Amino acid sequence: MRRPFIAGNWKMNLDRAQAVALAAGVAQRSAEFGAVDVAVCPPSVYLAAVHESVAGSPVGVGAQNIYFEVSGAFTGEISAAMAVDVGCRYVILGHSERRHILGETNEDVNRKVVAALAAGLIPIVCLGELLAEREAGQTADVIRQQFDGSLAGVSAEQINGIVLAYEPVWAIGTGKVATPDQAEEVHTDLRKILADRYNTAVADAVRIQYGGSVKANNAADLLAQPNVDGALVGGASLKVEEFMGIVAAAAK
């Protein structure tokens, strides 16, 4: 049985006071939903403050990115160990904004996955097709290539500690949510990929979130799909009530 997992990706939003208040609001409400794993992923400069704000609650904190090197002359980057040091349990890797705006490749994502696992972080690895790729019937191929490239060399034991997030790029921040059937189709493909590369026990155990314009009013239908185990939420994670509405849908 896979535990539902709802994570909020705050992206480059909020100031320090707003981040701390939002985290406190989520932490306060999360006790009502003990059957759901909940995480918040603030900008890296607010990680420590947010970690303090959720202390004593079950809410996990995640970074939105890390660099794959351990330390050194990498101006502007943070390492996996630094993320752990300020309280992170999770790290989002391969988000489409990093792939398509900041030029991250599958190879970069793979190196980051390896670094995150070595530091004891749980990677949330994002995969998803562009609108043009979906329209050209290439979704399954794109997902397979991203999976193979981003998770190259990851063992069966390691993949159990990874969360996948299917995030169609055309649905992120656009208000155009994938239909439950569209999400379920890709999640089912991902489980087949996991079964082919590893085994059915791994395929059954790995959690796969859906991400892309998830809101409190559309979450229930998506989360009711047998292979949708949670959500990676952008815009709707910036308001306590909206985000907790999604957590409540996952708890049902």
Q: Which residues bind ligand PEP (CB under 6 A)?
A: 9, 167, 172-173, 211-214, 232-236
Which sequence positions are flagged as catalytic?
Answer: 95, 167
* Contact in structure between 78 and 45 (CB atoms under 8 Å): no
**Smallest separation, CB 214 to ligand PEP (Å):** 5
Maximum pairwise Cα distance, the chain: 48
* Contact in structure between 91 and 123 (CB atoms under 8 Å): yes
Give the length of the chain: 252
Nearest CA-CA partner of 177 in 232, 133, 239, 101:
232
Q: Which residues contact 42 (CB under 8 A, 6 or more apart)?
A: 10, 14, 19, 23, 50, 61, 64
**Smallest separation, CB 47 to ligand PEP (Å):** 17
Q: Between 47 and 236, whose beta carbon lies closer to ligand PEP?
A: 236
**Smallest separation, CB 10 to ligand PEP (Å):** 9
